[in-house]
Amino acid sequence: MPLILGTNSIKDTGFNVANSLRFNDGSSDYLNKTLGSDGNRKKWTWSGWVKRSGFVASQMIFGSKSGNISASLNFRDDQLRFLDYDDGTFGSQLKTNRLFRDVSAWYHIVVAYDTTQGTESNRIKFYVNGVQETSFATSTYPSVNFNGYINESDYTHYVGSEDGSQNFFDGYMAEVCFINDQQLDATSFGEFDEDTGIWKPIDVSGLSFGNNGFYLDFESSGSLGSDVSGNGNNFTVNNLTAIDQSTDTCTNNSATWQPLDGHIAHVVFSEGNLKSDFGSTATKKSFVRSTIGVASGKWYFEAKVIQNANFFSTGISDRPSPSDSTELGSGAYDYAYVNDGGTNSKLNNGTYSSYGDSFTTNDIIGVAVDLDNLKIYFSKNGTFQNSGNPTNGTNPAFTITAPSLTDHGFYFFCVGDMTQANNVTWSANFGSPSYSESGGNSDGNGYGNYAGSVPSGYYALNTKNLAEYG
pLDDT (tens digit per residue) in 102-135: 989 999 999 999 999 999 999 999 999 999 999 9
**Maximal C-alpha separation, the chain:** 75
| pLDDT of 13 | 61
φ and ψ at 247, to 5 degrees?
-95, 5
* Alpha helix stretches (DSSP H) within 155-217: none
> For residues 306 and 425, is the Cβ–Cβ distance under 8 A?
yes
> For residues 69 and 273, is the Cβ–Cβ distance under 8 A?
no
For the chain, residues classed under CATH 2.60.120.200 are 20-246
| pLDDT of 55 | 83
| pLDDT of 238 | 98
SS3 (DSSP) at 242: helix
SS3 (DSSP) at 153: coil
Shortest CA distance to 249 belongs to which of 442, 2, 15, 16?
Answer: 16
Pick the CATH number of 20-246 from 2.40.50.40, 2.60.120.200, 3.40.50.720, 1.10.579.10: 2.60.120.200
- Band (pLDDT 50/70/90 cuts) for residue 341 is confident
Mean of the pLDDT values across residues 83-96? Answer: 96
| pLDDT of 6 | 44
Domain 259-469 has CATH 3.30.70.1060: no
> For residues 164 and 32, is the Cβ–Cβ distance under 8 A?
yes
Distance separating alpha carbons of residues 92 and 87, to the nearest angstrom: 13
Mean of the pLDDT values across residues 363-389? Answer: 98
- pLDDT tens digits, 271-329: 999 999 987 655 568 899 999 999 999 999 999 999 887 789 999 999 987 776 788 99
| pLDDT of 369 | 98
SS3 (DSSP) at 465: helix
**pLDDT over 80 (residue 448):** yes
Torsion angle defined by CA atoms of residues 405, 407, 411 and 415, in that order, rounded to the nearest 10 degrees: -140
**pLDDT over 80 (residue 204):** yes
> For residues 398 and 335, is the Cβ–Cβ distance under 8 A?
yes
**pLDDT over 90 (residue 259):** no
Mean of the pLDDT values across residues 219-233? Answer: 97
Distance separating alpha carbons of residues 160 and 166, to the nearest angstrom: 10
Distance separating alpha carbons of residues 391 and 381, to the nearest angstrom: 17
Alpha-carbon torsion (314, 315, 320, 326), positive or negative: negative
Distance separating alpha carbons of residues 283 and 298, to the nearest angstrom: 34
Q: What is the mean pLDDT of the chain?
A: 93
**pLDDT over 80 (residue 11):** no
Residue with the bigger pLDDT between 437 and 309: it is 437
How far are the Cα atoms of 52, 100, 246, 397, 436 from residue 104, in angstroms, in the given order?
8, 11, 15, 30, 23
**pLDDT over 60 (residue 2):** no
| pLDDT of 279 | 77
Distance separating alpha carbons of residues 380 and 362, to the nearest angstrom: 11
Distance separating alpha carbons of residues 407 and 399, to the nearest angstrom: 17
**pLDDT over 80 (residue 367):** yes
**pLDDT over 80 (residue 3):** no
| pLDDT of 324 | 66
For the chain, residues classed under CATH 2.60.120.920 are 259-469
SS3 (DSSP) at 294: strand
**pLDDT over 60 (residue 8):** no
> For residues 179 and 213, is the Cβ–Cβ distance under 8 A?
yes
| pLDDT of 12 | 56
Distance separating alpha carbons of residues 299 and 287, to the nearest angstrom: 20
∠ CA 245-247-251, nearest 5°, is: 130
SS3 (DSSP) at 26: helix
**pLDDT over 70 (residue 438):** yes
Tell me which of 51-55, 97-101, 377-381 is least confident. Answer: 51-55
How far are the Cα atoms of 248, 278, 312 from residue 365, in angstroms, in the given order?
21, 17, 12
